[in-house]
Amino acid sequence: MTDLPLLSARGLTKFYGERLGCRDVTFDLHEGEVLAVVGESGSGKSTLLGLLATELAPSAGAVHYRMRDGAVRDLSELTEAERRLLLRTDWGFVRQDAREGLRMGVSAGGNVGERLMAVGARHYGNIRAAASDWLARVEIEAGRIDDTPKSFSGGMRQRLQIARNLVTHPRLVFMDEPTSGLDVSVQARLLDLIRGLVAELGLAVIIVTHDLAVARLLSHRIMVMRRGRVIETGLTDQVLDDPREAYTQLLVSSVLAA
């Protein structure tokens, strides 16, 4: 096991014209580590996630990633083909709105199998068996394998999205508010599922959330963002139990008062 980070961000900055998205964000993420990025709407956390996942180009700074062969690459220097391969194999991205992360007109099994085909799987029986196995792991009944996500509830769609992303055994998964908009009981079930799979598979995860309870349950470390900047970072329990910055104290107290 190497001590080198899996992903490193250095001085990441993004401007939208005159408006600041985020500024000078620097951190390392190691294999098996879960990092929560928290803050209010407009804090810059979604911009940061877009930069890390190569969906946005930085105005300044860089992101480096350690590939499976051990080579550390500057993500801005990847070809489009290399970037797409990374997104289909070594990375996953669980979207806030599952409709953006699924093919809504394709069956549940097809959604999972499609990602396997992208990494070279061709045997229909094996692909369907793997899809069936993953649907079971995310608590979707085997009888729903040929149903499309259009007929699924919000919680089922998120579970299907997780199966689609994890079937290729990625090392890094981005999650953008994965429980937002779901009923509390559905949220709790989904969080338990995510926590179990992350621990079982040893995934590195960067999760963006405004919900400090989600951050506490899932993450090892936390970064608090405000107005595009990271204002506090540290071990999750340490930051949430004894926040140093006044803004973080306000966030924590607002949760306690709710």
- Residue 233 belongs to domain spanning: 7-90+170-257
3-state DSSP: the chain helix, strand, coil percent, rounded to 5? 45, 25, 30
Do residues 68 and 180 both lie within one domain?
Answer: yes
Q: Is position 2 within any domain?
A: no
Do residues 117 and 189 both lie within one domain?
Answer: no
Q: Is position 66 within any domain?
A: yes
pTM of this structure: 0.94
Do residues 161 and 184 both lie within one domain?
Answer: no
Q: Is position 97 within any domain?
A: no
* Phi-psi region at 44: left, alpha or beta (left = phi > 0; alpha = psi -120 to 50): left
State the Cα–Cα distance between residues 80 and 134, nearest whole angstrom: 29
Q: Is position 96 within any domain?
A: no
State the Cα–Cα distance between residues 99 and 121, nearest whole angstrom: 25
Among residues 180, 210, 173, the alpha carbon closest in space to that of 195 is found at 173
The confidence score (pLDDT) of residue 197 equals 93
CATH number of domain containing 54: 3.40.50.300
Do residues 189 and 222 both lie within one domain?
Answer: yes
Q: Is position 251 within any domain?
A: yes
Among 115, 141, 169, the domain boundary falls at: 169
Cα distances from 125 to residues 122, 138, 143, 150, 164, in angstroms, run 9, 20, 16, 25, 17
Do residues 75 and 150 both lie within one domain?
Answer: no
* pLDDT values of the chain reduced to their tens digit, one per residue, 258 residues: 568 999 999 999 999 999 999 999 999 999 999 999 999 989 999 999 999 999 999 999 999 999 999 999 999 999 999 999 999 889 999 999 999 999 999 999 999 998 888 777 788 788 999 999 999 999 999 999 999 999 999 999 999 999 999 999 999 999 999 998 888 889 999 999 999 999 999 999 999 999 999 999 999 999 999 999 999 999 999 999 999 999 999 999 886 554
Do residues 12 and 132 both lie within one domain?
Answer: no
Do residues 11 and 115 both lie within one domain?
Answer: no
Q: Is position 99 within any domain?
A: no
Do residues 152 and 164 both lie within one domain?
Answer: yes
Sign of the Cα torsion 177, 181, 186, 187 reads positive
The number of distinct structural domains making up the chain is: 2
Rounded to 5°, angle at Cα 16 from 102 and 86: 40
Do residues 135 and 16 both lie within one domain?
Answer: no
Long-range CB pairs of 2-7, under 8 A, 24+ apart, other chains included: 2/66, 2/70, 4/66, 4/72, 5/29, 5/30, 5/66, 6/30, 6/31, 6/33, 6/65, 6/66, 6/171, 6/172, 6/204, 7/52, 7/63, 7/64, 7/65, 7/66, 7/172, 7/204, 7/206
Do residues 35 and 84 both lie within one domain?
Answer: yes
The bridge status of strand 221-226 relative to strand 229-235 is antiparallel
Sign of the Cα torsion 251, 33, 183, 49 reads positive
Do residues 32 and 154 both lie within one domain?
Answer: no
Q: Is position 78 within any domain?
A: yes
Among 141, 169, 197, the domain boundary falls at: 169
Compute φ and ψ for 59, nearest 5 degrees. -75, -30
Do residues 60 and 178 both lie within one domain?
Answer: yes
Q: Is position 125 within any domain?
A: yes
The bridge status of strand 221-226 relative to strand 91-94 is unpaired
Among 147, 169, 191, the domain boundary falls at: 169
The confidence score (pLDDT) of residue 120 equals 74
